Structure 1
């Protein structure tokens, strides 16, 4: 069952139940983007086309259209051209996709969702990444290009994307994007609108700046940030767990210094970390537990991997203008969020940890549902698992194992570089030893 008439291609398979027709129509009405007359491509259909394009990033828009309509051969589906699809996307604009993302974004977790909270606090992380965009003159003028020792301009222009991600579900709570300058910590300040009491924000060294830490502290959310070597925090008081009270950026914090040793069959590596947090009670939040919690910051990197590798396939975005790029990024984030909500609903309904749910399995199941135009309209009894959730639960990942893969350039420019780099790219089982350092403030 799909919509009637020219609205029939407007669906996203089973994901339509999460973003139903009524939601899309309300977004269009709010943005005054409802078509004045019914065309072959109504605004609602164009929204679903953009969302479906996030599922089929390897395809052009005409091919995405054929996937939306492939199972609707018995219906009088209008024939549309690539030019008609381009004009329809231009008419729609950016605002409806931004409004839709604002409706969908969030932690996608309940109070009892496994791994979503720590000590009663919602665990979130902020980090940035770059998306390649078309090397068009207008885009290049806005974003600039990278440089290297051979040329002043190299590679594709890039958009800086900074996201606030729930570590337990990898759902996007908020995201902002723009040119790479003046930097991710400045752009990330726009995410403060989504921070609130009851959160603990995990931050890398790039975000541990005076301005950013003060902005987070103003929201009354707690933070756990890794400090760079430039910070020289004073020791105001020492605690039995090895941490000490200090003050940075005018904020009273507790500093935890630790030495982390990672051992594999190929050797050992040791590094010293300093973490600063606004959780000042060492009994309620021991230093050793804070160090373990900080490892959850890597969940935001996993979310970016799913966006850039699983969905985009490391491809350049389709759009060749800044409004088109913004429209495409909001559509991509919305589609990612829809899949994450479907995964979280299935995990919560069965008491499963979302960490064991495969995003790739959910993505492929969502693609199948679009091609078949299946489960578009929900029954009277809502099934939180559905076909996507069933596929995920039938192929659960094993419990997390501690493994280590050394950082390396996976695709060197020269095909002869593999031997000269002498880098072992295999992944090994690892053991980690954490030792809290006392009596020292050095990084």
Structure 2
């Protein structure tokens, strides 16, 4: 399994929030000068100037104040240095085998000279190029359109080459239906991973309202321009005016309302250009049905790639596709969520195929007992989809967990209600490690007799089992059917049974036979006894009624009569269980089952049997 995981592109959704720290005009000018110097130094092969300890302390203080002011309803934590390095490194290595995340918590020894980012390596970006095989001449292009039709980015690093396709959100529906308009949530529904970034520029309500007034004046001027037109004012102008009026009304309805300028970009990738192209086309086509238009501008793949990096300037192409929304509209269209199976610990249970690519599923089935929660699992699928296999794998992991040599009862335990006609869970349980106890139970309406119900339990009887039964069950048909399963029988019979003495054995028991149809019969051994008890008040010895048992164990030496009588007495423990279910678990003699339908009654009874 570990060898297979090494060859798979395992993914996991992590959401990052990058917020620019406040910068004064003087600081902005200074940073621009330092950036220019760093660019010149880079061209000359020199290291950039280090970040001073004073500036680093100042920025860390600003970040701490910003984190303290963040709403407590949203749980955030600072990204580690290793995670920040991974964000930039992952952008260049999408789709290839990535190195392990560097260990965090180690203090850096060289400040700001780029030594800490050495793990990033170098990346070669080439928009629309296709790498040719070694020694092979590049294929000639038939037309210039083939060059401009390559809307992907080839990223080459020491870890391999990947092809990435960028998409920008160009249009959104005029109105939103919530729920149903959450396009970011849909990204986790694809069978491959999708990276996304949303650049936000938030404007206060007063400034946004002033801008909307200017737009209203411009629309009013358009009415004057069409005053002499015989066709009148176009419908689009009336529609824009009505929409602007609603926008201004909502903008001024609350003093806390803001305008959000959102710039959304997506990225999919593949090991070949065709794979990246196919995923990008599928992604754009999926959202086109909901009036979300994702554009793939030619010649702008590299700019969009830089636009998805935190700290980089917003490229012009992203600004061109900016969407202006009120906070409520942005919240309805842009909520995001992440879903996953399993937890952070436990054995490897399987792979999550849907929800953004392959993800390992780790499940610790004993966690619910430690954390006082229910580790529930539901397997839903078509016939043959593997539901039984998944449940059996979970059961095996439970039985295998916690076992320690020399410590009995340290193995995990599982209770299974097997309602399959073939008793497949019974066979699986007997093949699992450890001890397996199979308890059969059947129930039906009052119109179904006990002997009929007992016949349904016979498939659970194994060869070599000693099967006990009360005097209401014996019949020739049921007796012979049970012996055909290879079991040994010890059944009590009523006085209505005629058992002629054929041979008296040494221990006082005797051989007889049960009569069947058409002169058939079966030889049995008869054990008769009474139970003597002392009266609590008088101390007088009182004998019970005569107990008559028939058994297929014919040899008195291997099955002494006293042991058989003692074994039959243990059958009364089942009556104690029946009383517990009927009275104690149900809530008393006068209580009834909570369920109101036959199927739910059966479910409630199975639950009682499992307790």
Structures share fold, TM-score greater than 0.5: no
Taking structure 2 as the reference length, what is the TM-score of the superposition?
0.30
Higher Rg: 2
